[in-house]
Chains A and B, each alone.
Chain A
Amino acid sequence: MQLRYVFSELRQGLRRNLSMHIAVVLTLFVSLTLVGIGALLNMQANKTADHLGSQLEVIVWLCTPEDPSNNACTGEVTDPQKAQIEQAIEDSPEVEDYHYESKDVAFEKAKELYPDLDFEGDDAAMTAEDMPQSYWVTLKDPDEADGITSAVQGLDGVSFVGDVRDELEPVYTIIDVLKYGSWIAAGMLVLAALLLVANTIRLAALARRREIGIMRLVGASTLYITLPFLLEALVTAVFGVLLAAGALAAFVQFGIVDGLEDLIDFLPWIGWEEYFDALFGYLPPGIALLGPVLTLVPTLLLTRKYIKV
C-alpha cells in the first residue's frame, strides 16, 4: 500500500480542520484528565480501605475516673469488669484477635501523635493516668462489626466502642464526592468529545467527497479510504492523552506527593505506581487506551456510514 498519499492526506486533513481538531483535543484532554482523577481517587479510597481493613478495626475504650466520654462510668474500670469484657470479646464470632493496651502504651501513642504538647513536669497536658485503657479488636470481616459492638457496648467499665473507620468517614465522603463528581463531569465531556469527533468526520468526509467518490470508483479498498480519517482520529487522541497525562502527573506531584502526603501522614497515599495504572491500565481502561478508543470507534462507525463502498 502506498502510504505517501495517506500521510499527505493526513497532513492536509489536520490542517484543513485545525480548529475542529483543537476542539477535540481540548475536550479529550479535560475529560481524560477528569477520568484519570476519578480513577486515582478510586485507588486512593481502596488503598485507604485496605490499609484500615488490615488494621485493628474496633477499639473498646475502658472507663477512666471522671470519664469525659461516658457519664455512666463511675470510676476506673475494675479487674472483674475487664474479665467480663474480655469474655464478651472472646465469645463473639466476629472477632479474629484482640489485644489489651495499657495506660502507658496509650500515653506513648499520645506523645507521638501530639509532639508539640508538653507531657513532662507539673503542668503537663496529660499524664499516663489520664489515658484510658483499651482493647484493640481485629475482625474476621472488617465490615461485620455490629455484633461485637453491641456485645460490649453497655457493659460495665466500657466507656465507648470506637470504629477507626467511623473517624475516617468524612475522608471517605470527600473522596467519594470528588470521585463521582469528576466521573459525572468526565461523562458529559466524553459525550461532548464524541459529538465533536462525529462532527469533525462529517466535515472531513464532506470536504473530501470528490476524492472519496473517485477512490471508490477506481477500486481503492475501504481501509485505504478510511485510513486518513483513522490516523486523524489517532493523532488527536494522542495529543489529548499526552496533555491529560501531563495534567495528572501535576496532580500527583503537587496535589499528593508534595501536598496531602505531608499534610495527612497517618494514611497511605497513592503515588506514581497508581499514576501509571490510571494511564496504562486496561481493566478498568487507562486513559492511554480510553483516548484512542473514544476517537477511533466513532470514526470507524461514521466512516462506514459516510463512505459506504
Chain B
Amino acid sequence: MIRFEKVTKSYPGPGAPALDHVTVDVEKGEFVFLVGASGSGKSTALRLVLRETRPTQGRVYVAGKEINRLAGWKVPRLRRQIGTVFQDFRLLPNKTVAENVAFAQQVIGKSRSEIRRVVPETLDLVGLKDKSERLPDELSGGEQQRVAIARAYVNRPMILIADEPTGNLDPTSSVGIMSLLERINETGTTVLMATHDHGIVDQMRKRVVELDHGRVVRDEAKGAYGFQH
C-alpha cells in the first residue's frame, strides 16, 4: 500500500538529509507507528506519502502509484484515497461538526444525497451523532479530534495518515482516539501514525518503525516505543 525504496530527501541548504536511504513497506490493512525524536524525518515521510513533496532520490509508491512520476493534475485523485489527521485538528471554526465533515465530500463533488447519507453514518462511528450541530469551539479537544477523524474517514480512504493525533490530548481522550483509529483499521484501512506517545505505542503492540536522523533504526512487528526514550 505504501512503499519507500531507498528514499532520500534533502532540503536545500546545509545539513544532513531529512530522510536517508529509507526503505519501508507497509501492506494493505496494516497499522504502523512511526516513532522517533523531533527532526528524525517522520513528518517528511508523511509529506512524501501525501505528495506534498517529492523524494530527492529513490521511489515512493502509494496505492500502486509512484508519486515521483505522478502528474500534478492527478495528485488530487491520489489524495482522495488518503485521509489525514493532524495534531491541531484543523477544523473550520465557522462550520458545524456535520458541515466540517460534509465539506470533505462537497469539495470533491459528492452528491447531496450521498453526503446526507454518509455524514451521519460517519459521525455515528466516531461517537458524535448527537453533537453534529455544534461548532468546533463548543467541543473538547478529544471531540474535535474525532470530528477531524470523521472528516478524514468520510470518503472511506484506503490509507489514513495521522500526524501526532494525540499530541494535544489528555490520556483519557488519547485512548478513545486510539480505539477509534483501531476500529477504522479493522475495516481494512491502512493506518500510518507518527507519534511521540510512548504509552500508546507500548500498549497497542503494533508494528513500529523508528527513525533516527533520517534513517530507519528499527522496524519490528508488535513493537514498543523503545528503550532509549
In the assembly, what is the distance between CA of A102 and CA of B80, in Å? 90
Also in contact, A220 and B75, with CB within 8 A (given A210-B90, A210-B92, A214-B92): no
Residues of chain B within 8 A (CB-CB) of A217 are 50, 79, 84
Within the complex, the shortest CB–CB distance from B79 to chain A, in Å, comes to 4
In the assembly, what is the distance between CA of A83 and CA of B72, in Å? 83
Q: Do residues A220 and B73 form an inter-chain contact, with CB atoms below 8 A?
A: no
Also in contact, A309 and B72, with CB within 8 A (given A2-B112, A213-B90, A217-B79): yes
Residues of chain A within 8 A (CB-CB) of B16 are none
> For chains A and B in complex, what number of residue pairs have CB atoms within 8 angstroms?
63
The proximity string for A residues 133-166 relative to B, scoring 1 for CB distances below 8 Å and 0 otherwise, is: 0000000000000000000000000000000000
Spot the interface stretch: B101-109, B172-180, B187-195.
B101-109
Interface size class of A (residues with CB under 8 A): 10 to 19
In the assembly, what is the distance between CA of A2 and CA of B104, in Å? 12
Within 8 A of B (CB), among A210-242: 210-211, 213-222, 224-225
B77 on the A face (CB < 8 A): yes
Q: Do residues A219 and B108 form an inter-chain contact, with CB atoms below 8 A?
A: yes
From the candidates B79, B111, B112, name the one contacting A216 in the complex (CB within 8 A).
B79
A5 on the B face (CB < 8 A): yes
In the assembly, what is the distance between CA of A218 and CA of B153, in Å? 10
B78 on the A face (CB < 8 A): yes
Q: Tell which of A1, A214, A218 has the most Cβ of chain B within 10 Å.
A: A218
Q: Tell which of A5, A217, A222 has the most Cβ of chain B within 10 Å.
A: A217
From the candidates B83, B103, B107, name the one contacting A224 in the complex (CB within 8 A).
B107
Q: Do residues A211 and B77 form an inter-chain contact, with CB atoms below 8 A?
A: no
Also in contact, A2 and B106, with CB within 8 A (given A210-B92, A217-B50): yes
* Chain B minimum-CB-distance residue to A216: B79
In the assembly, what is the distance between CA of A215 and CA of B84, in Å? 12
Q: Do residues A214 and B76 form an inter-chain contact, with CB atoms below 8 A?
A: no
Residues of chain B within 8 A (CB-CB) of A211 are 92, 103
Within the complex, the shortest CB–CB distance from B86 to chain A, in Å, comes to 9
B155 on the A face (CB < 8 A): yes
Also in contact, A219 and B76, with CB within 8 A (given A2-B109, A224-B107): yes
Within the complex, the shortest CB–CB distance from A212 to chain B, in Å, comes to 10
B110 on the A face (CB < 8 A): yes
* Chain B minimum-CB-distance residue to A220: B107
In the assembly, what is the distance between CA of A5 and CA of B95, in Å? 13
Within the complex, the shortest CB–CB distance from A78 to chain B, in Å, comes to 87
* Chain A minimum-CB-distance residue to B77: A219
Q: Tell which of A211, A214, A216, A222 has the most Cβ of chain B within 10 Å.
A: A214
A-B contact pairs, 22 of them (CB 8 A): A1-B109, A2-B110, A2-B111, A2-B112, A4-B112, A5-B107, A210-B92, A213-B90, A214-B92, A214-B107, A217-B50, A217-B84, A218-B80, A218-B83, A218-B103, A218-B104, A218-B107, A218-B151, A218-B155, A219-B77, A221-B76, A224-B109
Known A-B contacts: A2-B111, A309-B75. Give 17 more (CB < 8 A): A1-B109, A2-B109, A2-B110, A2-B112, A5-B107, A211-B103, A213-B90, A214-B90, A214-B92, A214-B103, A217-B50, A219-B75, A219-B108, A219-B155, A221-B108, A224-B107, A225-B107
